[in-house]
Structure 1
Amino acid sequence: MPRYTLLALLLLFLAGCTSQPPPQFSAEAQFGADDLLDGRLFGVGPEEAPGDPALLAVNDDMRAFLAERVPARASDSRKVDLILEGILEGGLKLEYDNLLTLPASEAFYRRAGNCMSFTNLFLALAREAGVRASYQEVMVPPTWTEGEHAWFYNLHVNVLVDLPGAEQVVDFNIGDYMRAYPRRLLSDEAGESHYHNNLGVHYMTHDDPARAFLHFRRALALQPGAGHVWTNLGTLYRRQGETARAEAAFRHAIDLDREPVAMSNLARLYREQGLPRLAANYARQVERVRSKNPYYQYYRAEQSYEAGAYLKAQRHLEKALRMQAKDHRFHHLMAMILTQRRQPQLARQFLRQAEALAADADKARYGNKLELLAGS
């Protein structure tokens, strides 16, 4: 299972839709944002909230851990290496556990956690050691399921370290991180919002709707414009059978930042409610925007390649490369397609580009393939 923050279920993407639901179903006039954050449906009072997680708090044990392993006069780059070594190797030997979303101090004592836990722990220790570091949000490409009927959309949080004249990404699962993925810095408040959103999803999928609601509400108090959290809140309402509230939450997510998964969830909701025209309208918008996603074109190219439809695969991949030319996997697949189409010289050009863009772990693999192509 990918080590990323699972944000919401279902299909893909976004787009404006001018059709409105009929009066008996439209939730816009019934439920505003304040109504959706009223917890009475879940038995939750207006002032009730999760406890302060003290997400990045550092205690004396953590300071002693740093003092033992990280010299105060070391360079920032060296401090980063020593903190990572202490967390992952000779010190804590932190183990990955997808179910543990923890503040820094809890991850320190339990020596386990998921990517968010690792991020909190590293960020807290790095700052305590005098290193400039921030949360970073990475927009990981969606993963489509068999038949293209569902997908997972992920926002992953890691750490960006500001070094003299350079920057370094620190990630618990750095092998899956790619420079080509869109990313942005997050404030500490937005980082904590991600933490509460993770816990909301956890409790929602473990049939604890009241606790899920509390964490979603807290996430939105920290980051009111986070469309993905409104989408998850809509999913929570939908699981409770509160269809009109679910619709309102999805529509609010779309109004805020045209949140992609909310549009897909809304299309499904309308299908289930016997509103085929609305559902079809949203589905057409979804398909149109999905076709403009380079990773969807790459997915289609892979499917066509595996089916032996090499020309069709090439056309999909040409579209993908026009939109995203920095992902080494696109160039590698094009090289494979061109090899099958008996164009070895052009295939070598794409493989060289794949090698240039790839991380060290993939460079050797591409170099070996170049040697094979050179002999053809």
Structure 2
Amino acid sequence: MSKIMTLASQSFRGIAVVALSVALVGCIGIDIDTQFIQDEEIHAAINDQSADRYPEIDPLYISDEVKQFIDSYIQPRDGEETRVDKLQDLLYGENFLHIQYSSEQTHTAMEAFYARKGNCLGVMNLYIAMARYVGLDANFQTVDVQPSWDRRGNLLVLSQHINASGRISARRTYVVDFTPEISLQQLTSDIVSDGVARSLYFNNLGVEQLIEANYEEALIYFKNALFLNDESSIAWNNIGSTYNRLGNSEYAEYAYRMAFSIDDNNATAINNLAKYYRRAGNPQLAGEYEEAIERFNNRNPYYHFALGSVAFDEGDFDEARKSFRRAVRLKEEEPDFYYALAGTYLRLGNESEAKRYTDTAARILALYDNVYRPSNNKVKIIDSSSILRDSSSSISIFPPGTRRWRN
């Protein structure tokens, strides 16, 4: 998973609570009125840059050496799809760069070229720079997937996903991905500008410094990310986490509230605020925020999926079954929910139900075969004229004649 990183503090037992509260659920939003009003003085003190602090850093720069490497394999006469295929060879082929996934560090294009490894954002820096050099349309694209959480000391680091996409013709696009595994793909994506991607790059550098407890250095990077995109809810949240560790509670609270004012799906910010108010001795306000998160979670299929996963790991398969079924009720087109139910029914000794849910998952995967899902080849050409929609009359998620819900 790429490192578009968001931070939260939490005890080990609380990891599930924080992670669940940020799973993507479209446009539901968190039902709480924070009564937030921007404070011009604090806002200006936090967002205090007038220029990019790192103009010398260009994540998309490639040297003449890289260009010669590209020119040795991709010819001017190659068509666009051939160039897409050859770029894949250059980056991932065993006889070329053979770049490997590593979640530890975010690279520029040149750093990824020499390191031969990187996370998704770093490798997409290299891919997009190379693609544009050979004349391909190439853009950063954020993708809605289930967030992935890593525990780093007393920090929880939320990794979200980014890949690359470009247009080959009026109807044909390509998507390039780089990840060992993406689960719970929601089949939605948004093209983002180079400026937003640059902001995400410095955000990630800030997280890497914060993990090392270099708080002042982290804050510098986060502020640069904010300067590049002052509507970045991610950067505001991470600035709040940094000020919290620096002991500046006023700025921490303001940054968390600003993060939520920008994105009312940012449950990480609300969760951080709940913990902030509880530590500050305001249990009533903390409780209001915690209740808002609970209401949000109850409408979130990925919350119930995660609860089911915890129950499954603990051997409580009946509880896992109930949670996975709640997830399916809230989001019927998610194949991994059905695979989870299939595995649960196997543990419960019901092979016929296990097969039924496995078959259902396979139908959903077939339904979305022409919509982007990551592949082993890391690149996919999409023809928009062949994409099936949920309303397609030839598709039935459940086999005709079957009951949708069984115990």
Does TM, scored on the shorter chain, surpass 0.5? yes
Structure 1 spans left out of the alignment, 5+ residues = 21-25, 40-45, 362-376
Name the counterpart of 2:5.
Answer: 6
Cα gap change, 1:29/1:116 in structure 2, threshold over 3 Å: closer, same or farther?
closer
Which of 57, 65, 86 is residue 61 of structure 2 equivalent to? 57
Choose which of 217, 226, 231 in structure 2 pairs with 1:225: 231
Cα distance, 1:176 vs structure 2: 2.4
Give the distance between the partners of 1:62 and 1:143, measured in 2 at CA.
32
CA contact (8 A) 2:183 2:336 kept: no
Quickly say closer, same or farther: Cα 1:47–1:82, change in 2 above 3 A: closer
Cα deviation digits, residues 275-327 of structure 1 (max 9, x gap): 11111111111111112221111112223344554443333222211332333
* 1:105 CA displacement: 2.5
Judged with a 3 Å threshold, the aligned counterparts in structure 2 of structure 1 residues 90 and 114 are, in CA distance, closer, same or farther, namely same
The answer as to 2:99 corresponding to 1:125 is no
Q: 1:33 and 1:19, CA in 2 relative to 1: closer, same or farther beyond 3 A? A: closer
The alignment status of 1:211 with 2:182, answered yes or no, reads no
In the aligned structure 2, how far is the partner of 1:294 from the partner of 1:102?
34
Equivalent residue in structure 2 for 1:264, among 253, 271, 275: 271
Q: How much has 1:126 moved relative to structure 2?
A: 0.9
SS in 2 for 1:53: coil
Which structure has more helix as a fraction of its residues?
1
Q: Is the 8 A contact 1:144 1:150 kept in 2?
A: no
Partner of 2:106: 101
CA change 1:356–1:167 in 2 (3 A) is farther
SS for the counterpart of 1:69 is coil
Q: TM-score, normalised by structure 1?
A: 0.81
Question: Quick check: 2:106–2:201 contact (8 Å CA) kept in 1?
Answer: yes
Q: TM-score, normalised by structure 2?
A: 0.76
**Aligned residues, how many?**
347
Structure 1 runs (4+) greater than 6 angstroms displaced: none
Q: CA deviation at 1:266?
A: 0.7
Deviations 1:146-183 (Å, cap 9, x if unpaired)? 9xx99653322211233343333322215326642542
Show the counterpart of 1:273.
280
1:320-339 to 2 correspondence within 5 Å?
320-339=327-346
What is the aligned counterpart of 2:30 among 15, 29, 39? 15
> 1:352 aligns to what?
359
| Shift in alpha-carbon separation, 1:152–1:113, aligned structure 2, 3 A | closer
Instruction: Return 5+ residue gaps in structure 2 as ranges.
Output: 10-17, 23-28, 366-372, 377-407
| Cα pair 1:161 1:169 within 8 Å, conserved | yes
Corresponding residue for 1:291? 298
- Opposite residue 132 of structure 1, the aligned amino acid is D
User: CA-atom RMSD, angstroms?
Assistant: 3.0
- The within-5 A match list for 1:71-220 is 71-88=75-92, 89-143=94-148, 152-164=157-169, 165-173=171-179, 175-176=181-182, 179-180=185-186, 182-220=188-226
Aligned-pair identity in percent equals 26
